[in-house]
Structure 1
């Protein structure tokens, strides 16, 4: 019999996660510029949440879809209302944190000024600057009978005013403020490092723009639009798939608004008129005391770049633990499996291996799945080089990687032009797996190097996301991986595997079977264990199995950074489950599954979270760890995360999170893992130098 206390709504759980990000902006133990970064991340996270999740709920309400979600039984409308209320609370908290942060920024020598704070001479400068540098570039619109309400670009900043004359008191004036043609911040010459935001300057001088009108009310506004498009449902067969995805990206920019943000109080009738034009209700309107766009934080951080104490201490990814100085990954993996742990270890050996494979006469083919790539991708460069060197290169480029579509479209063109065989995903399924296979022919024998990871092939994010990557020549893993690639080439998915777990057909069921195994062991009176590290947990089938396991006495420890739709510690149901979330300097991104202890222990790393979209609606791959030393290393990594009492927050039975306060000594797992990486690299460097001197 289920208890609703065990479950949490997905959207509200996500907002709790974003509040944990906001708390990092509030935390005075974090350096100032990093706190600014967390506040900016909070805002960009919330933007994407409204564009995707609230956009999807909004679509359901338009279809009058009364289906209730399967955890807390809320309808789409009820979820939207709950989200709007919670957003209002969080953004009020954000405004207070912003005000506190700007006080600290001011003490560090940089000031954002308001017009009223300027001297008469400074106001004269600002007026001249506006007249000469900004006014000629402004695009002005007065909404009336001959001029309809304009299209407002998603996340664009606009100055809006209620205009009045003797004969007409109801017109609305609108001006785009961030068209990219002028600087975001205006420096006041008489006050070094004092700035005014350009949109605030435009807002102040609206009377110079609308000279024939009286400004009755004015504000800055920002619209967030739905970006949730089902690319497959609107597929146009007259276009090739790449062209179709380019059209989807264009269409996304024009979808309906789901949120209106306003910078200050303004005339109620004007707000009502804007809401009517945008097709939203006043509950979707948010009034802020802070700027509507925090992208100017990057300018402040650039100004403070010479102050290292205002940033995190520099950390450089180290040589992987498995490699000796100067040793090549391509050679090492022929003798033993290798685990790479980012960002503590460098992605460079893997990039070098791809480059060496592209040049090696022994390599006959490279196959790879690509989801998100760096802007200047060395991975793609190596694949192109391999194709140009006459090797067979098969690449699946997932064009439906949300908000990376344009980047992936461009890379797919380049790969195709170089002679690579490019596949553009599957109908109705995203390919989210992180899978690479290099085929070699040496002395007439075919061998495979297979790499399976938890994160994208992206050199940039490998420095800020925690991820794991296994490189192996194991034949069983190679065989399963080859079958995955073969199925993808045919536009299909695998139904069975030998050692890998592969969604959508054979991951969820295998995970459930392993949970059931531990449950039965606990019922027999023996010690049973499940350890999971995930970004999110929403899959109801897996959640229910974890609840059953807890009730049977299985110890369940989970490190879940983001959404967690299961509440731990509910008496009689989830007493044996512990959930912590770590939000810190690096984004926790790796997925680890641990089932059993001792000889029964099975450890996997995977691309899949336990979300229904991952377990049954995507192509995902989980790989077993066979090497005992790598098992030990992953187990120690997991224990390190569970021991964190600096950046870890533990989930309470009501779904709230509180900082972990156990232990007499502060333990920051991310810093500790970096320290270990440095110690390992230095130890090996020292041994290398000793060997050289002895020789």
Structure 2
């Protein structure tokens, strides 16, 4: 009998495999398949930087830390990861080679240097355009091994001289802002080589007087797992401390070495020794080490529409009317926006209107990730300049967005906003906005609760939900959340909102218990969940208990899922699907109970321990019947997807959904609905 638990890291790799499947899928337009190869690679980079880095740190501790679901040790998890990644990378290489062949037929040909017949013109180009810009290092007593930047490409050469047989290493940085990564072959329009291939091919010109014994391209990935809370000293300015921490992170220890080319064993050992890496962390590649250039290829082929997804534009929401106050419309009834199918504009209009409304006394908001040119920030600055009280919690620990957020926090402060920087020990990941108005001696609240970031760019690429309500009870509780945040505290008790860390997980477990009780009485019982990840063991165990009691459970989980569905006697009443398609599934919906007594929530929180008990997260009840129906329809449409859905089987593997129903791609269907409306 199979286990009902799956290891978190191996489950994540299964998700990245589903991303790779989209690159392999012939029904996906050619240039979009390139995007999925690139996403697979950048996902993997971050996985090594954060998750493998964290596991590696655990192996250095005296205590034996084990996964609480599968009991695998940190080292066992690393070994399983490395084995699985090698297999997946073989598939990545295969699909990349195929895509490069296909794209050549469309007029963009990318050659390796060993495929070029007339080397002379490339040599002349190298001598005149590249060589003068190169800064090589020969490692020796007076020249220490250089610092290799995270995820950048370098040429490594093993060198000897006529007088000495001793091998020395030469290092050449291949990343440059001065020359293009894709270099057009002189006189051959549409034919290219990559800059790093050109440098490696003519690297002997960089080291005259040396004999080249071997050469390769390498790329080092560094551990980025750094615990800000553990290092913070209260006497320091928090923002400056975070800025320093980001500089430190760039210098953390290597966790992976990727290479293409040939180095002798002695030089390889020398390189591993300098980097402090064991051989098992070295990955050999037959394809480029970084795929960011594929977007250049896409730009060259942009005119050929058949190579891309059909253009889709977020539509106007029918819930809002043009030319009328957004605030007045929300006061008439709750509103829901569904991204990317509907435009984020009504929410941006709400902020701008609040900034200009003389009755608005305050705007309070939590910010996690923002667009580069953020209209949200512009509206908040305008509100502060108009004399409103603007309180903004900017989470400086939003991983890989820290530097952006540090800059935004400075701008907000300079404009007169009150900026809070999160809480000790808890990241603030909630998507909460509270607008307070004072009219005729009475206060009104407009509250917005979302599943995704206040980011105009990702609202066109990620599926998310944004609820706007004038419900007084929800407004009062949102105000309570902001009061707690301002004091550096967390809320302990709520009637309507579910607020982690203290009143989300327990309330979810209570609602699951209610369903278990109904099932035990022989009554129909139901749980429906849509989210990105499921790792929280308390919730997983409760889902297993519910399944055993006979509760029908349907889950749409895009990424990590540590619960295995369909295991006899354990999870046979649970169905789990994952949808990986054109848009990144990011919205969270919780539903408890059969249709006539169902409770509906949208939330910023996945059911991961880090969300349920280690972050400030907010889930909001949905009371409006029309919006409940809309959530039901979204969930049902995705549940019936038989084009982009993969269903988990009891072996823990995911298989494409095949049935006799009419073909249904849920993302395309929801976009068509938005257009048809």
TM value normalised by structure 2? 0.99
Q: Spell out the pairing of 1:274-313 with structure 2 (5 A cutoff).
A: 274-313=271-310
Q: Distance in 2 between matches of 1:238 and 1:543?
A: 41
- Name the counterpart of 2:603: 606
Q: Spell out the pairing of 1:224-623 with structure 2 (5 A cutoff).
A: 224-623=221-620
Q: 2:17 aligns with which of 16, 19, 35?
A: 19
- Give the C-alpha shift of residue 298 in structure 1: 1.1
- Give the C-alpha shift of residue 238 in structure 1: 4.3
- Name the counterpart of 1:159: 155
- Give the C-alpha shift of residue 118 in structure 1: 2.5
- Give the C-alpha shift of residue 268 in structure 1: 1.7
Stretch moving more, 535-544 or 263-272: 263-272
- Give the C-alpha shift of residue 663 in structure 1: 3.0
- Give the C-alpha shift of residue 326 in structure 1: 3.9
1:135 aligns with 2:136: no
Q: Distance in 1 between matches of 2:661 and 2:596?
A: 33
Question: 1:623-648 deviations in whole A, cap 9, x for unaligned?
Answer: 00000111011011100000000000
- Give the C-alpha shift of residue 227 in structure 1: 0.2
- Cα RMSD between the aligned structures? 1.0
- Give the C-alpha shift of residue 111 in structure 1: 0.6
Q: Spell out the pairing of 1:32-47 with structure 2 (5 A cutoff).
A: 32-47=30-45
Q: What SS does the aligned partner of 1:74 have?
A: coil
Q: Distance in 2 between matches of 1:11 and 1:328?
A: 48
- Give the C-alpha shift of residue 272 in structure 1: 1.3
- Name the counterpart of 1:685: none
Q: What SS does the aligned partner of 1:312 have?
A: coil
Q: What SS does the aligned partner of 1:655 have?
A: coil
Q: Distance in 2 between matches of 1:47 and 1:649?
A: 24
Q: Distance in 1 between matches of 2:186 and 2:303?
A: 21
Question: 1:397-422 deviations in whole A, cap 9, x for unaligned?
Answer: 00000000000000000000000000
Q: Is the 8 A contact 1:328 1:349 kept in 2?
A: no
- Give the C-alpha shift of residue 276 in structure 1: 1.0
Stretch moving more, 583-592 or 159-168: 159-168
Q: Is the 8 A contact 1:532 1:591 kept in 2?
A: yes
- Name the counterpart of 1:683: none
Q: Spell out the pairing of 1:180-259 with structure 2 (5 A cutoff).
A: 180-259=177-256
Q: 2:664 aligns with which of 651, 663, 667?
A: 667
Q: Distance in 2 between matches of 1:140 and 1:653?
A: 54
Q: Distance in 2 between matches of 1:328 and 1:31?
A: 42
Q: What SS does the aligned partner of 1:334 have?
A: helix
- Name the counterpart of 1:172: 169
Q: Distance in 2 between matches of 1:271 and 1:313?
A: 47
Q: Is the 8 A contact 1:265 1:287 kept in 2?
A: no
- Name the counterpart of 1:640: 637
Classify 1:64/1:275 alpha carbon distance in 2 versus 1 (closer, same or farther; 3 Å). Answer: farther
Q: Is the 8 A contact 2:5 2:563 kept in 1?
A: yes
Question: 1:416-467 deviations in whole A, cap 9, x for unaligned?
Answer: 0000000000011100000000001122221000000100000000000000
Q: Distance in 1 between matches of 2:293 and 2:515?
A: 51
Question: 1:378-404 deviations in whole A, cap 9, x for unaligned?
Answer: 000000000000000000000000000
Gaps (5+ residues) in structure 1?
681-695
Q: Is the 8 A contact 1:415 1:422 kept in 2?
A: yes
Q: Distance in 2 between matches of 1:329 and 1:677?
A: 20
- Name the counterpart of 1:628: 625
- Name the counterpart of 1:148: 144
- Give the C-alpha shift of residue 24 in structure 1: 0.4
- Give the C-alpha shift of residue 328 in structure 1: 4.1
Q: Is the 8 A contact 1:155 1:223 kept in 2?
A: yes
- Give the C-alpha shift of residue 327 in structure 1: 4.1
Q: What SS does the aligned partner of 1:133 have?
A: helix
Question: 1:183-204 deviations in whole A, cap 9, x for unaligned?
Answer: 1011013211100100000000
- Name the counterpart of 1:81: 79
Q: Distance in 2 between matches of 1:177 and 1:330?
A: 54
Q: What SS does the aligned partner of 1:93 have?
A: helix
Q: Is the 8 A contact 1:368 1:437 kept in 2?
A: yes
Gaps (5+ residues) in structure 2?
none
Q: Distance in 1 between matches of 2:493 and 2:102?
A: 58
- Give the C-alpha shift of residue 622 in structure 1: 0.3
What is the total number of aligned residue pairs between the two structures?
Answer: 676
Q: What SS does the aligned partner of 1:5 have?
A: coil
- Give the C-alpha shift of residue 325 in structure 1: 4.3
Q: Distance in 2 between matches of 1:28 and 1:61?
A: 42
